[in-house]
A and B are shown apart, each in its own frame.
Chain A
Amino acid sequence: MKDIIIQLTQKELRVRYKHLSLGYLWSIANPLAYALLYFMIFKIVMKVKIENFPIFLISALFPWQWFANSVGVGPMTFLGNAPLIKKVNFPRYLLSFVAVVQDMLHFLASLPIIVLFLFIFDKSPTLDWILGIPLLCLIQLMLTYGFNLFISTINLFFRDLERLIQIGMTFLFYSTPVVFDINMVPKEYQQLIVLNPVAPLIISWRDLFLNGFINWQYIGISMVWASIVLVLGQLVYNKLSWRFAEIL
């Protein structure tokens, strides 16, 4: 099992970087490019009043990108591995797991950038990171894996899902406090943020990276969401996985 996970992860990384001459740099360049874009729009053009905007932005954007990438490839996780699924019998959910782990590795590889930005803005990592990062990684792994498993399974049967995901992710992005702060939301709507499965997690990441503390309240809520999504994804997968080889 351990060997399958390592081998599949290697495979994904190889496939992803095979044709790219800059290879691994892209895992950092991609989120930074988005950061630059949002910085220009929200800080320079719209003049949002948030201090230290660059570090404010990437402290939430980097974890968001992990989530968005893993969920975004969801429709293709099983579809893109059709030859594997049709030829050998192995636990197929590992494909989902590996897809998410891979994006987690990219996220971890981008952490030095966050530290660098902290220093630029006269801040520094705190001791809370030692517990906070593994804990939040675990929660995000559960949540993202649950989403990916659900989407990749359903997409085999309803290919339209792929389109819906693209729209859904845009909605989700703008209803998650990445480019804005939760406190900018009018008071009467702030409570609603807990209905967004990703928002509590992203808020927790930002509090950890930017403000240096573990926000137990939001971590608790994101843990609940992660568990719900994980169970839902696994249930759907268990119900339908035996039909994968015949539908592909």
Chain B
Amino acid sequence: MTSVVTFSHVTKSYPLYHHITGGFKNLLFNLPKALKEMKSAKFTALEDISFDIKKGECVAFIGRNGAGKSTTLGLIAQVLKPNQGTVEVNGRVSPLLELGGGFHPDLTGVENIELNGVLLGLTRKEVKEKMNQIIDFSELGDFINHPIRTYSSGMLTRLGFSVIAHLDPVILLIDEVLSVGDGKFQQKCYQKMQEFKDRGVTMILVSHNIYDIQRICSRVIWIENHRIKMDAPAEEVLTEYKKHYCL
């Protein structure tokens, strides 16, 4: 089996940018101090993370809020870059990050689908061909022609998932977003994900819903305090996790 995602000794820290965005005035009047702070004031989101995800695997990241899960997905989606270590990704990534779907509040659902599809690497023609399928799957009805600022968060999720589900994903990234969809739509999503699993699509998700993870994922990586606490088959990790937090 070939690896599609490889992290080796990845460290990601964010400078605390407010020292700079405080503006020129602050920067100029406290130059030495400001420079020192810029170098030292950091928030470390991930520390020395190494793992390897093979083609067709379905992996979930669990951990408390702020543990570094979303940063991990950001790194896989290659919108973020590590400070140390390397991230290797082979294959097109279809990310559904941060309440997916919407790119511009004034664009309609259809327009957002077009933009999303093209940015994820499809041609305009391909997106057009799939448009009807996507709209049908989303069950958004007339809303698809309305600006997405009128959407509820559940509707945004429908839009987002519908798009990435129909773009022949190779690596699918899903960041918590499914939890805001209603029960019926969630079912539909998990059905789709089961299909993907059978087709050999690699899936990586962040979720707080242990039961969903159990159904879909064969492997779970538990991140705590910015490090990997446990990386093992789903059952094992989830049992430990439940014990740890008395769930």
Q: Is B120 at the interface (CB under 8 A from chain A)?
A: yes
Q: Is B77 an interface residue (CB 8 A)?
A: yes
Q: Which of A6, A10, A89 contacts B93 (CB 8 A)?
A: A89
Known contacts: A84-B119, A87-B103, A88-B120. The answer to whether A242 contacts B23 by CB under 8 A is no
Determine which of A83, A86, A158 lies in contact with B20 in the assembled complex, contact meaning CB atoms within 8 Å. Answer: A158
Write out the residue numbers on chain B whose beta carbons fall within 8 Å of the beta carbon of A160.
23-25
Q: Is the CB of B98 within 8 A of A86?
A: yes
B3 at the interface (CB under 8 A from A): no
Are B20's CB and A7's CB within 8 A?
A: no
In chain B, what residue has the closest Cβ to A164? Answer: B24
Most buried by B among A6, A8, A158: A158
Distance in angstroms between the alpha carbons of A7 and B20 in the assembled complex: 34
Q: Is B56 an interface residue (CB 8 A)?
A: no
Chain A residue contacts of B107, Cβ below 8 A: 11, 14-15
The interface residues of chain A lying within 8 Å CB-to-CB of B104 are 11, 15, 83-84
B210 at the interface (CB under 8 A from A): no
Contact with A along B50-70 (1 / 0, CB 8 A): 000000000000000000000
Query: Which chain B residues (22-60) contact chain A, with CB distance < 8 Å?
Result: 23-25, 27
Residue pair B118, A245 in contact (C-beta under 8 Å): no
> A7 and B98: CB pair below 8 A?
no
Residues of A within 8 A of B80 (CB): 245-246
B78 touches A4 (CB 8 A): no
CB-CB contacts below 8 Å: B129-178 with A:
147
B180 at the interface (CB under 8 A from A): no
- Bound-state CA distance A90–B114 (Å) is 15
Q: Report the separation of the CA atoms of residues A89 and B92 in the bound assembly, to the nearest whole angstrom.
A: 10
**Residue in A4, A7, A14 with the greatest tally of chain B CB atoms within 10 Å:** A7
A residues 210-248 near B (Cβ < 8 Å) are 242-243, 245-247
Chain B residues whose CB sits within 8 angstroms of the CB of A89 once the complex forms: 77-79, 93, 95
Contact mask B214-226 → A, CB, 8 Å, 1/0?
Answer: 0000000000000
B residues contacting the other copy or chain, number (CB 8 A): 35
Task: Please indicate the chain A residues that have their CB under 8 angstroms from the CB of B100 in the complex.
Answer: 87
Bound Cα distance from A18 to B145, whole angstroms: 13
- CB within 8 Å of B: which A152-211 residues: 157-160
Asked whether A51 is an interface residue with its Cβ less than 8 Å from the other chain, the reply is: no
Per-residue interface assignment for chain A, residues 36 to 74, with 1 indicating a CB less than 8 Å from any chain B CB and 0 otherwise: 000000000000000000000000000000000000000
When C-beta atoms are compared, the residue in chain A nearest to B20 turns out to be A157
Most buried by A among B14, B80, B123: B80
B182 within 8 A of A: no
Contact with B along A1-41 (1 / 0, CB 8 A): 00110111011001100110000000000000000000000
- Does chain A have a CB within 8 A of B97? yes
Enumerate chain A residues within 8 angstroms of B23, measured Cβ to Cβ: 158-160
Tell whether, in the assembled complex, residue B106 and residue A7 are in contact, meaning their CB atoms are under 8 Å apart: no
B21 at the interface (CB under 8 A from A): yes
Complex Cα distance, B75 from A242, in Å, reads 11
A85: CB under 8 A from chain B?
Answer: yes
Bound: A84/B21 CA distance, A: 21
Which one of A84, A85, A87, A159 has the greatest number of beta carbons of chain B within 10 Å?
A87
> A84–B115 Cα gap in the complex (Å)?
10
**B79 touches which of A15, A85, A158, A159 (Cβ 8 Å):** A85
B111 contacts chain A at the CB level, 8 A cutoff = yes
Q: Is the CB of A4 within 8 A of B119?
A: yes
The minimal Cβ–Cβ distance linking B193 to chain A, given in whole angstroms, is 20
- Asked if A88 and B81 sit within 8 Å, CB to CB, the answer is no
Does B181 lie at the interface of the complex (its beta carbon under 8 Å from any beta carbon of A)? no
By the criterion CB–CB under 8 Å, are A87 and B98 in contact? yes
Q: How far is B28's CA from A158's CA once the two chains are assembled, in angstroms?
A: 12
Contact with B along A71-105 (1 / 0, CB 8 A): 00000000000011111111000000000000000
The distance in angstroms between the C-alpha atoms of A136 and B154, with both chains bound, is 49
Q: Which residues of A contact B14 (CB under 8 A)?
A: 246
In the bound complex, CA of A90 to CA of B117 (Å):
12
Interface residue B190 (Cβ < 8 Å from any Cβ of A): no
Q: Does B106 contact A15, Cβ atoms closer than 8 Å?
A: yes
The 6 closest A-B pairs by CB, nearest first: A245-B79, A89-B78, A7-B118, A242-B81, A160-B23, A3-B124
Not counting A84-B104, A157-B17, a sample of 8 additional A-B residue pairs whose C-beta atoms are within 8 angstroms of each other reads: A7-B124, A8-B115, A86-B79, A86-B98, A89-B95, A90-B119, A158-B27, A243-B81
